[in-house]
Structure 1
Amino acid sequence: MNDKITIFDFDDTYDLQDFYKNSQFKRVDLTNIHGVFGYCDNETLKRLKNIILKEDTSGINFLGSGNYHYMTYLLMQKVDKPFTLVLFDHHTDMMNSLFGNLMSCGCWVKRALDENKMLKKVIIIGVEKKLIDNIDEKYRNRVFCYSEEDIKHNIPWTSFLKDKIDKPIYISIDKDVIGKDEAKTNWQQGILTLEELREIFDFLVDNGEVISVDVCGECSSRDEIVANFYSDSIINSEANKEIIEMVEEERILN
């Protein structure tokens, strides 16, 4: 594995996984930062941003459980040219924040669209269809969804993506988009297979410039009983190995 792996460690979730241990990797210890599980205030967000700015995140970045998916919002701020976010996720992450201006795992995409001038559009793959209807009308010309129902009915994703990949691509993968046989998360999951993920990923690489990749969707040790956490960690480690192989085969990152 030539592509460097960065593990952002909030809660020791990756301790039982071994997908990274035979590769070049760096572990960023965030376990001493409080008030980050699912929600994050502005001061803590700034603290996390300062940490990220000091790190080489040019490889593939692992963010922990989906409760920390808002880390993508910070990582995307390092992109210095117009780009498209391709988000593999069973949710839109475009809700309004439930608690004032707190950043959350459910609103980070909306905030990125509002605040990141380099982010031009978002393509969400595998999202539950009923959640698409809740996207605010003002974002409809910048957010494009290939839904779980599209996957079920074999709607060609090649034609869906072909005319939308016109800028460099940031890819973010939440494993809750993957079916329960191949990944275990703390959230409701979709039906995408790892094979389908690889096929779409390969298409994106062949038809655009991929500038960064991050992955979340681990089972959090905070939400799991011990026995389940152990077995689920093994399944997730295997899924992460496949994702790393997928990225490695394309030789796209520095």
Structure 2
Amino acid sequence: MMITVQDFTGVYAEQAFMQELRATAETSKDVRWLDCTKIVGTDCYCDDDAIKEINESIDNAESDSKSECNRIIENRDNSTNDIAPQPSIHFFDNGNYHYMSKLWTDRVQEPFTLIVFDHHPDMQPPRFGGILSCGGWVKEVLDNNKFIQNAIIIGVKDELVETVREELSQSRESSILDKVTFIRESELSILSSLICSDFVNVLSPNLYISIDKDALSPSYAVTNWDQGSLTLDALKDCITALTTGRRILGVDICGERAHDFEGDEHHTIQEADTLNSELNRELVEFLKKIKEY
């Protein structure tokens, strides 16, 4: 399984687990560390030049990985080139960069359902000439990705669901909601029954999962946006249930603390970094154990 880390703000420097991944990237083809700190035009909004530069950095990393993989295959006895692609985990900093899920799903070449864990719907109509944003990337995927069949967004703050409905209605784009199922924060107590309901039957055999840790309560993560009340066990149980009998194409993880975080009523800086580091470790270990991986 490939792990790609895109470091936009330098926040991973304070996380022990992420620094382990950085060290591993120097010697292993299974981890890639992409330094994105010098790419301008990326914070909350991603302009065309930044998109081009980000995609080029991914392309270069994937080219290097494929070259290494081909060398390994050539050195194996009785090897075959019929190697099934493996799903990847992508880390990309705090929630301001959640639009990276749009760029990663652009690379999917088969029908899929998008599963999003987020305290925000990320479906705002574009406000600045159609520029890609962390607050509107889900809508961009639904509008422009020919392979997406539907989206399930889990843990959204209740009032934001109504807000996005109103915004899309005002822009005469409400029909896009036919492809979206919201599981509101108030419904998390019955999450297990909801994911076993009829809507599961409309999921694609292929799933793409995007996790913004702000869906979790502050007991599990420290993020740069207001947080929900999802528990880590509920997140794991939901992923396990949804992926049973289905194939995972990729998993995105964002929702780190802000780079200039100075502590809050819940955590000091050190406590935040320790908590986020251990959560990232636990998510990777959990995802590695999922049958489809």
Normalising by structure 2, we get a TM-score of 0.80
The residue type paired with residue 169 of structure 1 is L
Are 1:237 and 2:277 an aligned pair? yes
5+ residue gaps in structure 1? none
Q: How does 1:12-27 map to 2 (within 5 A)?
A: 12-20=10-18, 21=20, 24-27=30-33
Question: Which residue number in structure 2 is paired with residue 130 of structure 1?
Answer: 159
Matched residue SS, 1:215: strand
Number of residue equivalences: 250
Are 1:179 and 2:217 an aligned pair? yes
Rg larger in 1 or in 2? 2
- 2:191, 2:246 → 1: CA distance? 23
Mean Cα deviation higher: 57-66 or 105-114: 57-66
Deviation at 1:242, TM superposition (A): 1.4
The residue type paired with residue 15 of structure 1 is A
Pick from 165, 169, 185 the counterpart of residue 148 of structure 1: 185
- 2:291, 2:204 → 1: CA distance? 20
Matched residue SS, 1:19: helix
Q: How big is each residue's C-alpha offset from its partner over 1:36-84, in whole Å with a ceiling of 9 and x where there is no partner? A: 1111112211221222233349421101000000011000011110111
Deviation at 1:28, TM superposition (A): 0.4
Question: Which residue number in structure 1 is paired with residue 140 of structure 2?
Answer: 111
Pick from 202, 207, 212 the counterpart of residue 164 of structure 1: 202
Deviation at 1:151, TM superposition (A): 0.8
Pick from 239, 249, 266 the counterpart of residue 201 of structure 1: 239
- 2:292, 2:245 → 1: CA distance? 12
Matched residue SS, 1:84: strand
- 1:19, 1:4 → 2: CA distance? 16
Question: Which residue number in structure 2 is paired with residue 47 of structure 1?
Answer: 53
Matched residue SS, 1:163: helix
Where relative contact order (Cα < 8 A, 6+ residues apart) is larger, the structure is 1
Question: Which residue number in structure 2 is paired with residue 139 of structure 1?
Answer: 176
Q: How big is each residue's C-alpha offset from its partner over 1:115-168, in whole Å with a ceiling of 9 and x where there is no partner? A: 111112111011112222223321121011111111145571232452232331
Identify the structure with the greater helix proportion. Answer: 2
Pick from 231, 240, 248 the counterpart of residue 210 of structure 1: 248
- 1:149, 1:32 → 2: CA distance? 40
Q: How big is each residue's C-alpha offset from its partner over 1:217-241, in whole Å with a ceiling of 9 and x where there is no partner? A: 00121x3127943321111111111
Q: Quote the RMSD (CA, aligned, Å).
A: 2.0
5+ residue gaps in structure 2? 25-29, 63-85, 169-173
Q: How big is each residue's C-alpha offset from its partner over 1:104-124, in whole Å with a ceiling of 9 and x where there is no partner? A: 100111111111111121110
